[in-house]
Amino acid sequence: MFFLYCICIVSLLLLTDLGLIPEISAFLHGGFGRDKVAHFVLVGLFAWLFNSVFSLGYINLARLRIFVGTVVIVAVLTLEELTQLWIPTRHFELLDLLAGYLGIGTAEIVLRHNRNVLVRFEKPSDQVKH
C-alpha cells in the first residue's frame, strides 16, 4: 500500500511540475483552502504510512521524542516545496509548507496514540507477579 501511494504521489508531483495536469491545479486553487487541505491530507497520510511501514525508532530533538520517519518526511517536504522556487509551472507558498507540517504532526500524534493504546492493552499480561 505504501509503495503504491508513493508511486501515485511521485507521479502527481512530476505531472504537476511539468505542467501536464492543469485541471488539478485549477481545481485546487479554485476554492479557498482546497490546496491547503490537499497538502494536509496527502502529506499527513504519507507521513503516517512511512512511519507505519518503516518503524525507524525515535530521535530526541529539543527535549521531544519524535519518530525518525517524521524527521525524514519533514526534510523531504521542505526540499520539495523549496524546489518550487525554481520550477516555472509551480509556485512556493509558505502556507502549503505549513499545511504539510500540520499533516505530519497530526500523523505523529495519531501514531503515538495508537501505540500507547497498544502498550496499555499489552501491559497487564506483562505484569505477572512472581
Give the tens place of pLDDT for each residue, 90-100.
Answer: 788 899 999 99
Q: What percent of the chain has pLDDT over 90?
A: 35
The predicted pLDDT at position 91 comes to 81
CA distances from 78 to 5, 23, 37, 64, 71 (A): 19, 25, 17, 20, 11
d(Cα 90, Cα 62) in Å, to the nearest integer?
34
Q: pTM for the full model?
A: 0.75
Residue pair 80/96 in contact (Cβ under 8 Å)? The answer is no
70-74, 77-81, 102-106, 125-129: least confident range: 125-129
CA 56 distance to own-chain centroid:
15
Per-residue model confidence (pLDDT) at position 79: 94
- Domain residue limits, the chain: 2-124
Q: Which residues lie closer than 8 Å to 85 by C-beta, 6 or more apart?
A: 92
pLDDT of 27: 61
The H-or-E segment that residue 83 falls in is helix 68-83
The reported pLDDT for the residue numbered 130 is 47
